[in-house]
A and B are shown apart, each in its own frame.
Chain A
Amino acid sequence: MAVGLPENIFITKLDAAANWARSNSLWPMPFATACCGIELMATAASRHDLARFGAEVMRFSPRQCDLLIVAGRVVMKMLPVLQRIWLQMPEPKWCISMGACACSGGVFDTYAVVQGIDRFIPVDMYVPGCPPRPEQLLQAVMDMQAKVRRTGTIMGREFAIRDMPSGPAPFDSDERYRIEDTRLVQLGGFSAAATSAGRGATRG
């Protein structure tokens, strides 16, 4: 062992060794809910061959994974499941948000679809596209590797500073307005049924 060298050189080397090992054996957890999942499968298949980057070991148990790939839209009924899977993954772990729906809700701006998973779980890499080509996902995996090599530490200190949500605030002004509107209606003594019946009567 390097006797006589300053201690910090030793620690940096260990970080680099850990980053090298981690970045070349990312084990993805495929959270595939939509058509992005098909592209994810294509990426892992022989033509595009995710194994070239050491990330071919798809595990369907979050306990064995360190890279969450969210491929597809996440609805409000699925979000608690996604959060639970994220919490079940052991450290160190990273997250790729794949496709327009996972990143922002995509075209599905409805009551049931979460408008971007980064509002509720941390995201490291965003892949645009609807769905993205396998090449784009490969690029994201390569960028992910570069990020691990660049910022990783063996004790995961780089994660501690990320204490803010990576996405926008859960409630935008539009949404807040609708919620307050609902609350006013309820405070005024009208149920949704009563107001709609009243509207029907005035129309007729």
Chain B
Amino acid sequence: MVCLTELQQKFSSEITESHFRDNRRLDVPAAAVLPLLTSLKSDYGFNMLVDLTAVDWLEYDGAPDRFSVIYLLLNVDSGERLAIRVPVNLPDALLPSVYSLWRGADWMEREVWDMFGISFSGHPDLRRILMPEEFDAFPLRKDYPLKGRGERHNFPVITRSGS
């Protein structure tokens, strides 16, 4: 069982804890995230990264930060779960990559980069994973229009006589 005060002493006094039903969540400043996750994996046995995703809080009342990046961890042996939430802001939306800890972070970090434009330093191959290479926006950002900016219809038209 992870002890909050222990983590606060070791990594950052700004780490806070909250609960929702039986989920345990830690809010962690970006500077402390890599040492904290390293320790959670090696010392506390969180050997599985279940998910790595992000939220855009633009125009959300009371939100202090633009993005949150969320790590969902699982200790396979004890069944303990933990959610780590890290604030990220523009213009330098950058976090350290956790690819070195969990190989499964590879595509998840690429997806977060593709959809939100949050980059991960130390990632071996950070490029788009869902959208085409030439796409030049981050579609899950809230200031991107739902119907896009015309990318979906920017193709040559093939007529019947021309084919």
Q: Which residues of A contact B (CB under 8 A)?
A: 75-77, 79-80, 83, 86-87, 109-115, 119-122, 159-166, 170-171, 174-176, 178-179, 182, 192-197, 199-200, 203-204
Interface segment out of the listed B25-33, B105-113, B141-149: B141-149
Partner of B150, one of A113, A121, A176, A203: A176
Contact A175 B131 (CB under 8 A): no
Q: Report whether A83 and B141 are in contact in the complex, using a CB–CB cutoff of 8 Å.
A: no
- Chain B: which residue is nearest A161 at the CB level? B161
Distance between Cα atoms of A86 and B162 in the complex (Å)? 11
B3-11, B58-66, B79-87 - interface stretch: B58-66
Give the A-binding residues of B (Cβ under 8 A). 58-59, 64, 66, 89-91, 117, 131-132, 137-139, 141, 143-163
Please pick, from B143, B147, B160, B162, the residue contacting A110 in the complex, using a CB distance under 8 A. B147
CB atoms of B150 and A76 under 8 A apart: no
Q: Are A110 and B161 in contact (CB under 8 A)?
A: no
B157 touches A109 (CB 8 A): no
Tell me whether A76 and B132 are in contact in the complex, defined as CB-CB below 8 angstroms, given that A111-B146, A111-B151, A115-B152 are known contacts: yes
* A182 partner residues in chain B, CB cutoff 8 A: 149
Is the beta-carbon distance between A109 and B147 smaller than 8 angstroms? yes
| Chain A residues within 8 Å of B150, by CB | 171, 175-176, 178-179
Q: Which of A80, A112, A121, A159 contacts B148 (CB 8 A)?
A: A112
Q: Which of A80, A109, A197 is the one whose CB lies under 8 Å from B155?
A: A80
The answer to whether A86 and B158 touch (CB under 8 A), given A196-B58, A200-B90, A203-B59, is yes
Are the C-beta atoms of B147 and A119 separated by less than 8 Å? no
A204's partner among B64, B90, B132 (CB-CB below 8 A) is B64
Interface centre among B66, B152, B154, B158 (most CB of A within 10 A): B152
Known: A115-B152, A196-B90. A120 touches B131 (CB 8 A): no
Known A119-B157, A196-B143, A204-B64; judge A178-B152 contact (CB<8 A).
Answer: no
Asked whether, in the complex, the Cβ of B158 is within 8 Å of the Cβ of A175, the reply is no
Q: Which residues of A contact B139 (CB under 8 A)?
A: 111-112
CB closest chain-A residue, reference B152: A76
- State A197–B67 Cα separation when bound (angstroms): 11
Q: Which B-chain residue is minimally distant from A176 (CB atoms)?
A: B150
By a CB distance below 8 angstroms, the chain B residues around A161 are: 161
Contact A163 B161 (CB under 8 A): yes
Identify which of B117, B153, B160 contacts A175 (C-beta below 8 A).
B153
Question: Known contacts A86-B163, A115-B152, A175-B153: does B91 contact A120 (CB below 8 Å)?
Answer: no
Other A-B contacts than A111-B144, A122-B159, 19 sampled, CB-CB below 8 A, are A83-B158, A111-B145, A111-B147, A114-B152, A114-B155, A115-B153, A119-B153, A161-B161, A163-B162, A175-B150, A192-B141, A193-B117, A196-B141, A197-B89, A199-B58, A199-B59, A199-B143, A200-B58, A200-B66
A164 neighbours in B (Cβ, 8 Å) = 159
CB of A179 within 8 A of CB of B64, answer no
The 3 closest A-B pairs by CB, nearest first: A111-B148, A162-B160, A122-B160
